[in-house]
Amino acid sequence: MYDCDICGRAAEIAYVVEIEGAMMTLCERCAKGKTPVRVLGEERMQKSTARKEPAARDEPEVVSDYGHRIRSARDAIGMSTKVLAEKINEKESTLIRVENQRMLPDETLRKKLERELGIKLMEQVPRGRTSAAGGSNTPTTLWDAAIRKEKKKQ
Ligand SMILES: [Zn+2]
């Protein structure tokens, strides 16, 4: 906060204005119509608006390797696509297309697969944050861990 040299009000942003050879720190109102030499506190304002700005809705998204996750989890329990398709009441061809990532599972199918295989096909994608920081808030299942391990091997 800065105190205005004219009106004494505390201002979030202060304008340094040269008046008759003297540097004055003024609030926005008092600085009106004058050309500021410097603007103080603007940086902080930008930062605080930037913090608000990333309309930070961490929307869950289907993971990019959903097909791989489904197949790995299915393979791990030795279940064929046919059996799995029957269990979740879907066509085997649909399941195969999803596994090959040629088709994004809709919400119903995704939930059935998640329940049947004990995997997570959705993940929170934190917007405006680096991926290095994220991930810790993603629920991890045993299958996820197994799949991650398998991925590392490749
Ligand atoms: Zn003022």
> Which range has highest mean pLDDT (30-39, 82-91, 129-138)?
82-91
Segment holding 24, helix H or strand E? strand 22-26
Tokens of 42: 């603007």
Task: Select from 126, 153, 146 the least CA-distant residue to 137.
Answer: 126
31 alpha carbon – ligand 1 mean position (Å): 7
- The sign one gets for the Cα dihedral 122, 123, 126, 131 is negative
pLDDT digits (tens, 9 = 90+) for 101-128: 999 999 999 999 999 999 999 988 666 5
State mean pLDDT over 133-150: 58
Write down the residue that tokens 């697969």 correspond to: 113
Q: What is the Å distance from ligand 1's center to 6 Cα?
A: 5
- Estimate to the nearest angstrom the gap between the alpha carbon of 129 and the chain centroid: 6
**CA gap 136, 134 in Å, rounded:** 6
Cα 136 to ligand 1 centre (Å): 47
- The more confidently predicted of residues 64 and 127 is 64
**Tens-digit pLDDT profile for residues 14-32:** 999 998 889 999 999 999 9
Structure confidence at residue 135 as a pLDDT band (50, 70, 90): very low
20 Cα to the center of ligand 1, angstroms: 17
Q: Does pTM top 0.85 for this prediction?
A: no
CA of 53 to the centre of ligand 1 (A): 29
Q: How many Å lie between the centroid of ligand 1 and the Cα of residue 29?
A: 6
Under the banding of pLDDT at 50, 70 and 90, the label for residue 140 is low
Q: How would residue 132 be classed by pLDDT, with cut points 50, 70 and 90? A: very low
- Residues 75/54, Cβ–Cβ less than 8 Å: no
Domains along the chain? 2-52 (no CATH), 59-153 (1.10.260.40)
- pLDDT category at 131 given cuts 50, 70, 90 is very low
Burial class (CB within 10 angstroms; exposed 0-12, middle 13-18, buried 19+) of 117: buried
